[in-house]
Structures are given as structure tokens and as C-alpha cells.
């Protein structure tokens, strides 16, 4: 991992192809372009994943983020959209089938990226290889970064065997090919760390997600210890909560991020502005730039208790 003697980190949420917003946020945070790479003299950016899909300039975002990471001006973790792209564009060595089926739904979700990369096969191959180099999480001095959910038990299972460093984990072929089989522990790890725990709703309850698909699962607030009912732990905008039954949860073994731990930053949850902290030591920096919201970053200077005024956005 490259460092530049930095004294602080700026953790930046989901970008989803919005290169103009990314340039504006980086400038607001004091980064300037030198030889095509945005840099800060004293700080590093940390990107929380989901660089691609939905927005108008996937190529532009990848170019900015990749130059910064390769040049030591930033660190980055993998989002579920990069994982999905790896699987969409990688064939299983035995079956020859794409690891992510080219179904109408999967292709539609990936359409903006596919259109921009049409006819650029070598850049596509190189980009997917670069996505493969992104770690699933970062355990740094004083803070943690992951795309969706910090589950200490699952993370220990990745780093505890001595063959990987203890502060990060990158996909190898064995892990990747197993992770697309929903019977494996690798699948569960990807689902949790990159997409967040989802629990089934009680029988008969169906929700519509932001793309109009029917869903019977809800994302849960793993950063919040309180909550005894489905409605209390559901991660949904307030206006959708009445649709969730206020019935007691059946499973009490869910992952909860302890309040005494160092701060953890994540994206993924399509928060709606106004920009705000979730808890003093766990906060989402995704405020839905790809759906009428803002691109958000947290300016971290070593504090153990997060401050709302350190959230910046464009």
C-alpha cells in the first residue's frame, strides 16, 4: 500500500459515474491536479467503492480514481458494482459461462458502463483487472473503511489464516469463483461486506425497491445496537417505514458494530440528504449523487468521535 506521509484522510462515498461531481468535491477538499492526478499535499482520499454504473461518465470516474490510487494520492475499496462488473466480464474456467449471468436485469443495471466501453476491449480488460486489485476493506490506524457492512467475525475469517495481511483482503481466483455459488462462505462474505445484511420480511410482506422491483428482504442498520422489531432496524427512508411490520425480530444474533470501536466509514445505502452522521463511530458517506442527491466526503483528522461539520458535499 502506498502512502505519502499523509496526516488525514478524506473518505468519499459512492460516485456511480458522476465525474463532474467528483472533480468538484476533490477541489472543495483541497485536491489539485498535477500531471493528470488529483493530489493533496498532506492528505489522502479513500474511496468507499461503487465508481461505476448509472451515471454519465464511468470512464472519467475510473480515470480519476485509478490515477489517484496508482499515484499514492488515494486508497480505495471495492463496491458491489465493481464486484458485479468483475463477475459480468469474467468467465468460469470450467463452464465457460460468465460468473454473473447476462440477464436482462443484470445488463440493464450495467448499461451505462457497457455503452461507454463498447469497442474498447483492451481498456475493459485492463479496467476489470484493476477492479480485481481493490481490497474488500481497509483496516487503518484509527479508522476502517468498507463498502457496505463491517462484520468483524467475517473479516477475521479472511485475515486470520496467516496467508493474507491482517488489514486488508483482495479477491484471488479461488475466492472469486467460489463466491458466485450461493452455498459457499465466500458468497456470504461478499453479500455481507459489499451489499450489507438483508433479512427476510415476515410472510406476506412485499416491498418495492428504488428500481421498482418487488423485494421481500430489508437492509438492516448494523451500526445501531437498539431495535427489537423489523421496523426499528430496517434501513429505509422514513416514508417507507410504515410499510414494514412492527413485529419482533426472530433472530437475535445479528451483527452490530460496537459503540466503543474506532470509526467505520461506508457507502452503499443511498442515504437521502440532508447530509448527517448515523452514529458517532459509524457513518455512511453515500448520499445518492446518482439519484438527485449529493456526492459526500468526510474530512477525517484522527478523531475517535466523528463530527457532523466534517461532512462535506457538492
Work out which of 80, 84, 179, 197 binds Mn ion, going by CB under 5 A: 80
- Interface stretch with Mn ion, choices 5-13, 49-57, 169-177, 290-298 (CB under 5 A): 49-57
* Least distance between Mn ion and beta carbon 300 (Å): 21
Task: Indicate the DSSP class of residue 108.
Answer: H
Q: Measured from the CB of residue 295, what is the shortest distance to Mn ion in angstroms?
A: 14
Q: In degrees to the nearest 10, what's the CA dihedral of 109, 115, 120, 122?
A: 0
Range in contact with Mn ion (rule: CB under 5 A) among 1-9, 35-43, 52-60, 262-270: 262-270
3-state secondary structure of 194: helix
Element spanning 189, H or E = helix 185-190
Between CA 266 and CA 192 the distance in angstroms is 13
Q: Which residues contact 306 (CB under 8 A, 6 or more apart)?
A: 263, 277, 280, 281, 283, 298, 300
Q: How far apart are CA 11 and CA 138, in angstroms?
A: 12
Site string for Mn ion, 218-257 (x = CB under 5 A): ----------------------------------------
Alpha-carbon distance of 224 to 47, in angstroms, equals: 23
CB-nearer residue toward Mn ion: 78 or 154? 78
* Cell numbers given for 277: 452522521
Rule CB under 5 A: is residue 53 a binding residue for Mn ion?
no
Based on CB atoms, which residue is closest to Mn ion, 79 or 297?
79
Nearest approach, Cβ of residue 136 and Mn ion (Å) = 13
Compute the least distance from the CB of residue 184 to Mn ion, in Å. 21
Which is closer to Mn ion, CB of 9 or CB of 266? 266
84 touches Mn ion (CB under 5 A): no
Residues binding Mn ion: number (CB under 5 A): 4
Q: Please, which residue, 17 or 73, has the CB nearer to Mn ion?
A: 17
Among 22, 268, 281, 285, binds Mn ion (CB under 5 A): 268
Nearest Cα to Cα of residue 70 among 110, 129, 118? 129
- Number of residues that make up the chain: 314
DSSP letter, residue 234: B
- Closest CB to Mn ion among residues 120, 210: 210
Cis peptide leading into residue 76 (ω within 30°): no
**Can you tell me which of 10, 50, 57, 149 binds Mn ion, judged by CB under 5 A?**
50
Q: Which residues bind Mn ion (CB under 5 A)?
A: 50, 79-80, 268
Amino acid at each position: 500500500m502506498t502512502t505519502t506521509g499523509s496526516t488525514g484522510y478524506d473518505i468519499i462515498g459512492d460516485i456511480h459515474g458522476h465525474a463532474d461531481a467528483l472533480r468538484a468535491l476533490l477541489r472543495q477538499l483541497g485536491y489539485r491536479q498535477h500531471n493528470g492526478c488529483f493530489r493533496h499535499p498532506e492528505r489522502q482520499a479513500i474511496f468507499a467503492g461503487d465508481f461505476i454504473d448509472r451515471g454519465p461518465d464511468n470512464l472519467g470516474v475510473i480515470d480519476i480514481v485509478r490515477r489517484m490510487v496508482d499515484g499514492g494520492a488515494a486508497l480505495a475499496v471495492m463496491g458491489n458494482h465493481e464486484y458485479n462488473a468483475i463477475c459480468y466480464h469474467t468467465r468460469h474456467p470450467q463452464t465457460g459461462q460468465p460468473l454473473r449471468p447476462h440477464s436482462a436485469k443484470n445488463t440493464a443495471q450495467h448499461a451505462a458502463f457497457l455503452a461507454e466501453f463498447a469497442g474498447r476491449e483492451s481498456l475493459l480488460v485492463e479496467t476489470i483487472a484493476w477492479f480485481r486489485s481493490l481490497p474488500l476493506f481497509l483496516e487503518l490506524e484509527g479508522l476502517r473503511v468498507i463498502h457496505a457492512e463491517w462484520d468483524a467475525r467475517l473479516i477475521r475469517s479472511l485475515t486470520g489464516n496467516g496467508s493474507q495481511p491482517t488489514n486488508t483482503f483482495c479477491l484471488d481466483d479461488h475466492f472469486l469463483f467460489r463466491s458466485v455459488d450461493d452455498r459457499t462462505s465466500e458468497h456470504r462474505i461478499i453479500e455481507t461486506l459489499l451489499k450489507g445484511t438483508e433479512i427476510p420480511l415476515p410472510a406476506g410482506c412485499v416491498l418495492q425497491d428504488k428500481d421498482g422491483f418487488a423485494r421481500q428482504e430489508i437492509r438492516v442498520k448494523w451500526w445501531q445496537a437498539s431495535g427489537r422489531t423489523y421496523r426499528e432496524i430496517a434501513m429505509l427512508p422514513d416514508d417507507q417505514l410504515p410499510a414494514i411490520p412492527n413485529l419482533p425480530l426472530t433472530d437475535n444474533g445479528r451483527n452490530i458494530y460496537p459503540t466503543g470501536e474506532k470509526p467505520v466509514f461506508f457507502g452503499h445505502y443511498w442515504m437521502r440528504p440532508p447530509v448527517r452522521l448515523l452514529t458517532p463511530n459509524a457513518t455512511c458517506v453515500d448520499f445518492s449523487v446518482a439519484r438527485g442527491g449529493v456526492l459526500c466526503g468526510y474530512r477525517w483528522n484522527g478523531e475517535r468521535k466523528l463530527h457532523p461539520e466534517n461532512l462535506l458535499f457538492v
